[in-house]
Amino acid sequence: MSYDINTNAKFSDRGQGMFKKILVANRGEIARRIMNTCREMGIKTVALYSDADRDAVHVLEADQALCLGDAEPAASYLNIDKIIAAARETGADAIHPGYGFLAENADFAERCEQEGLVFIGPPSRVISELGDKTIARQTMTKSGVPVIPGMNHPESDPEVLVREADAIGYPVLIKAAAGGGGKGMRVVASADELHDACISASSEAAGAFGNGSIYLEKYLTRPRHIEFQILADSHGNVVHLLERECSIQRRHQKIIEETPSPAMTPELRKKMGDAAIAAAQASGYVNAGTVEFLLDEDGSFYFLEVNTRLQVEHPITEMTTGIDIVRCQLEIAAGNPLSIDQKDIKGRGHAIECRIYAEDPGNDFFPSPGKIVFMKEPSGPGIRNDCGIYSGFQVPVEYDPILSKLIVAAENREEAVHRMIEALREYVILGVRTPIPFLIDVLRSEAFRKGETFTDFIGCHFPDWKPERADVETAAIAYIIDELAGKKERPVADNRGGGYGSPWQTLGNWRP
Amino acid sequence: MEYRLKVDDTIIPVEVKKAETNTMTLSFDGKARNVQYSRISDNQIHLIIDGVGTQAFIAGDGDEKTVILRGVPYEVRDADLSRQTRRGKRGPSAMPREVTPPTPSIVVRILVAEGDRVNKGDAVIVVTAMKMETTLTAPFDGTVTKINVVEGDKVMPGQILADIEKDEEEPTEEQDGLADS
């Protein structure tokens, strides 16, 4: 098998070469997480930011930071010309796209290739072929990987979509051909809802990916979402880093992920892992990627899509395998061969991730932008928080509502669940609403404890969730004490604005 | 000193019996509770209630405070202070009276023009917040008299994005005291 590795030529020629400076074309927690590994490897980092993000965490921690201008994504984080110019200006040799924004944009990867910049991800041709979910379906069918019944071509004509939906049989799922992260996805139960749902899905897809193409798939009502992390180098080596189960979703977006899957057996893992590697090989994959499957109740599994990027939920795999996936991405992009064999990859214990969004779980997970008034992160053995906020940070309305990802690992699933519940109880975020109380209740539920995790989990077990407020008296006591026991010394005139007084006001009787 | 606190939807009468430095006795419905406390920061208070320690995290002012206890938020108000400022129930169950976004948002599409007739429930304006689109609908049958925004505008809850003049109402069985006020 041959690979198109022109982009990496200058590094593979050098053998063990490594980048000197990486530009991270993303924001928030993921930009910060990528830069952490860069720093460990002695690589300089460049952050980019929009007008809304001047004070975002990724800007604060980068060696260099460049402003892209207007907060509107098209003018900033999706603006290829500005990003390439920033890489030129700062002398970066590679660009890491993170997830979302341009991470799965083949034009961007191609532009990097043309400009002699290394795109940390697969070659543009692979992104383009897999990024179009319908072409990916064709590729997988040809190499014997099972796919969900549905369309193999995108379509915009509502008449044709209605005919296709009739042929597939309702319920159908509208998906963005360029999609990911649940954007542009709609479940449609009957023909009369199809037209409006297609228009709204297409508009949302166009906004999120710059491409409004959609297609239809049969909607499986009660599957599990199981995915395999893969690593493929430019020398033809491919391994998988075991599975992740991401069945707990709201609005088709994952909110709790775990590894290993409670549904997995060694035999099924072998079969699905082999299929994931076959999928990677069939597409000529290079770099880190994720092969997503749906596992039906009868034990059959179907290829869903390949995510040609670092996944939001990659940390749980890192926790159980001990492998830094971002480091692997950089090594692969620099042309170095994988240093691990499949037989070396062992998962130890159990890891869970909870996504902490700015949203109101008691109001249909509606977005809740605002200012983080106060924050306290949990800590302790086996706890990791990939966090994109801090006390005082204004959460912008323009971008994805993810605030942080809380990850725990423990010896087994039961201990990991307890550890996560306690970590969530310790995690304080004031100023915006978060799903923390909801996540606690999900993890405490019998269905979750028993591993009965299917993609309809929330609709099935928590349709009209409200927090259980067991301790109203303590809340009342806290209110009264907050009223009566004055805040720390602070000028009276300034007690609403959240600012702090100057030392001349607050130091009291202090004398030098 | 007596308080009538509203915790979410429950009214809790509390009497502060005795208050000294960092200690307090409160009475809930005749049941006394001894509280020792220490303010750790503007947003953090350590409590020892009848000998059991816990932490409370608080934001907000006298009108409404959010108190987080072991991961669970409680909205606490002084029922006597907030009676006149009380807002309607939030959430999709509450019927909006105006075309206004539920959270800070950006206008992405305007689906009607001034002079258009709309029926209750018709899509009027689409807004987006944090990449999620929400369609704002006509709260009643009527005529669009004015569009107050353009696509791309940043808008806030309470801001009226389109004025809709309600149809002259036939006298019906439905009580509708608030709509036209």
Which of A187, A138, A188 lies closest to A305 in space, CA to CA?
A: A138
Judged by CB atoms closer than 8 Å, whether chains meet at A476 and B66 is answered as no
Given pLDDT bands bounded at 50, 70 and 90, which one contains residue A180?
low
* Nearest C-alpha in A relative to B37: A481
Q: Which of A131-135, B1-5, B66-70, B141-145 has the lowest mean pLDDT?
A: A131-135
Q: Does the N-terminal peptide bond of residue A260 adopt cis geometry, omega within 30 degrees of 0?
A: yes
Which of B15, B27, B12, B1 lies closest to B78 in space, CA to CA?
A: B12
Looking only at the bridges linking them, the beta strands covering B162-166 and B142-147 are antiparallel
* Nearest C-alpha in A relative to B57: A428
pLDDT at position A254: 94
Interface check A492 vs B, CB under 8 A = no
pLDDT at position B131: 78
Q: Report the pLDDT averaged over residues A365-373.
A: 93
State the smallest CA–CA distance between residue B99 and chain A in angstroms.
17
Active-site residue, selected from the candidate residues A111, A186, A224, A309 = A309
- Asked if A317 and A261 count as a contact pair (C-beta separation under 8 A), the reply is no
Interface check B110 vs A, CB under 8 A = no
- pTM equals 0.84
Residue pointed to by tokens 């044709």: A160
Given pLDDT bands bounded at 50, 70 and 90, which one contains residue B82?
low
A54 in catalytic set: no
* Nearest C-alpha in B relative to A397: B130
Q: Does the N-terminal peptide bond of residue B139 adopt cis geometry, omega within 30 degrees of 0?
A: no
Judged by CB atoms closer than 8 Å, whether chains meet at A200 and B26 is answered as no
Phi and psi torsions of A113, nearest 5°? -55, -45
Per the prediction, chain A carries an average pLDDT of 91
- Counted residue by residue, chain B has a size of 181
The partner residue sitting opposite B74, judged by closest CB among A370, A469, A487, is A469
Judged by CB atoms closer than 8 Å, whether chains meet at B59 and A374 is answered as yes
Q: What whole-number distance in Å separates Cα of residue A41 and Cα of residue A135? A: 37
Whether A461 shows a pLDDT value over 80: the answer reads yes
Residues of A in contact with B90 (CB under 8 A): 363
> In A301-459, which ranges are E strands?
301-307, 350-357, 359-360, 366-367, 370-371, 374-376, 383-387, 394-395, 402-410, 428-430
Assess: ipTM above 0.90. no
Judged by CB atoms closer than 8 Å, whether chains meet at B68 and A471 is answered as no
Q: What whole-number distance in Å separates Cα of residue A32 and Cα of residue B139? A: 44
The percent of residues above 70 in pLDDT, for chain A, comes to: 91
Given pLDDT bands bounded at 50, 70 and 90, which one contains residue B81?
confident
Whether B179 shows a pLDDT value over 60: the answer reads no
Judged by CB atoms closer than 8 Å, whether chains meet at B26 and A480 is answered as yes
* Nearest C-alpha in B relative to A361: B91
Interface check A115 vs B, CB under 8 A = no
The partner residue sitting opposite A474, judged by closest CB among B16, B56, B131, is B56
Residues of B in contact with A399 (CB under 8 A): 130-131
Q: Report the pLDDT averaged over residues A104-111.
A: 95
pLDDT at position B72: 96
Per the prediction, chain B carries an average pLDDT of 84
